Structure 1
Amino acid sequence: MWYNILSYVIISVSGLKPERFVNICARRNIKLWGIKRIDKDTIVMCVSSTDFRKRIRPVAFKARCKVRILEKKGLIIKLYRYRKRKVLAASFAVGIMLTMLLCSMLWSIRIEGATPIEEMRTRLVLSSMGIRPGVFMHNIDNSELADTLMDNQPGIAWVGVRKRGIVLEITLAKRQEYNDKGTVPDDVHCDVVAKKDAVVSKIVPEQGTALVTIDTTVTKGQKLIAGWVVQMDEEGKEHKRPVHARGIVKGIVWHSVEIPIETQHERIVATGKEKTLTTINFFGINIGLPGKKNPYDSYSSVTFEQYLTLPSGKEMPMGIVKTKIMETRKETVILSYEEALEATRLRAMELIDNMIPDDADILETFFEIRKTEEGVFLYMACECEENIGVEVAVGD
């Protein structure tokens, strides 16, 4: 194949013993191929142009054979024939440069080991970093990209980034975590610790040793049930045997928010006017169509990208980008004090509700209006009884 790209010649060797010519070439490491015997005194074969010019004549003289060129082959030979056709040569050079340019660009992004939500989050991070089909591969820093994805992917223990030709491969490995209900394997030595600050209201150790009592104030991470039990040996000495700690631990937890009561606020509303702009994306470069401009000063937009897809399902870095632009304006809304108070109360209840676990029992809720130099605020607090214990493997 290499000689097809460079050049070689097809020669005929004739003489009383043409096989001597082949043997001498073999001893002198001259590569021959495609050897065919035509008759008793003639053999046809291929040899590289370099060997033919520099090394074949002494061999032919020693073997007492006559060598004749039948045909010249190779890409260089063909290009030499068209050396006077400058337009063709320029087109060929442009084609080679364009091929090299396309091979240095990103064509496809492959994400492995991710759930649909994690894949969507990963693609959003890539888009925010400007990494999309059409960018140059050498502009992508694997280490920086892996660190950024780690920072934006909760629950991921490791991110692998690999460039393979025109494809960027990203592999996500999930972190092994134990949830709040305790999913530490039964054969693992673990403790029960507090997952938040609270006052213990109930503790029932099913296995292990309780370290706190009711009405004890505990902080997040404090050990509640130790993963060991005391046993007596035959000599009457106490020994601690490690176990998988488990049990029920509930505590009183307070959740609170403070929100300003505002009778006047601004909101952004749509005017109903909209326009769609279409651009052509060619290897990461957006080419706008003539006459298509954004006529609005204040607007919101939604972008839809549609790329050409190969039969194998891979996207090519060429497609159409449609951006739907909707005009917006600021609107000032003035509320009465009662309306503002009710709206603030609803916001506070929504925020508190997001803080309280589903299995918690609400014991007491109260509101308070606080007036300060900075304004009037609504303070809301909620007292709940929650499960505060979580199993944590010893050594984590």
Structure 2
Amino acid sequence: MKNHWIEFYKGIVTVKASGRGTERFINQLTKHGILVWNVKRLGTHAITFKMKLADAKQIRSVARNSDCKIEFLQRLGLPFLMKRLLKNSGFLIGFTLFFMVIFLLSNMIWGIQINGANPATEYKISKELDKMGVKVGKLQFFVDDAESIQRKLTDQIEEITWVGIDLRGTTYHLQVVEKNEPEKLEYYSPRNLVAKKKAVIVQMFVEEGQPAVRINDHVKPGQLLVSGTIGTEDQPKIVPARGEILGETWYKTDVIFPLKTSFHVFNGNEKRRHFVKIGGLSIPIWGFGKNEFKQFETEENDKKLRFLKWELPISYISKTEREKEDVTKEYSKEEGLEMAKKLARTDIKNQVSDEAKIKGEKVLHHSIDNGKVKLSIHFQIIEDIAIEQPIIQGDSE
């Protein structure tokens, strides 16, 4: 008989038959359709053979008519293995539960240490981590990765400049750099303050030095604003001129804005998939089937699993596929002009300092050509126009 291994799943028994009619007994089994194999003779009046477990009930009736005595020597196959496992089920269940508990505990968050933050900032960080689900007792593969946590903390908490996150075993270690570091004392060398561009003076805040201009004066690039030389002609004293000189400056910018714009947006439809990755093999455990999205973006979160202090070559991967669609926005001429102005303001703000303010604006020219708004606009900006100019001995104002 070929492929005896198939019968292993149904059960196989090894039988010993002894008596004077062993040959007749084998023939009777064959006539009854009972399949036997590996028939071996043991001495003059005994044989052994293998047969299916399902036919074992019929063999006794055949043996009575053949003047043979039968004995079951060995039982093999899945039914007998299952029977043994059931006998030892308590040990098996206990071992399995123990392994699962250790595995879950090894992938749980057991500690969060925050270093470098004062108590108030540390409290805010703890509250924000709690909102994100990063807390003691939470499974690690159900929380965001370290990079996402770092980005969210930096965005949500104004008091911190930077936070580094390191997961060591079952503990998150956070190193925080706060913004409110003590200011370093600056050393100022002797200097003047001069104009960096053409402007009209609107306000002056001189901390040290001698003002050389007044409000409403027109100044040119390089013109002296605050002198670092004070005192009398007989007893001059050179100091580092300091202050803020606000002037009205002028900018012109040209922008082009299309009346018809196409862009991508997420429509709210998404499909989540979960995988267990062993080595290079990814095994899907939830979210089967292909999505029907024409366009989508995939966000993937990969969590390494651990057992005690060891990192296993097994990962839990969650993928979120978000559907996106193309949207075309058409603007009227009036809307296009307003959007062009906004774009021009943004362009100007990128050219000046954060403290500068837009005092006024005037459209010099605008037109609509080939579905685009072309705009030329003039801005009046209030900004600090002072820059430093070192004073070298022998220089004169």
Normalising by structure 2, we get a TM-score of 0.41
Higher Cα Rg, which structure:
2
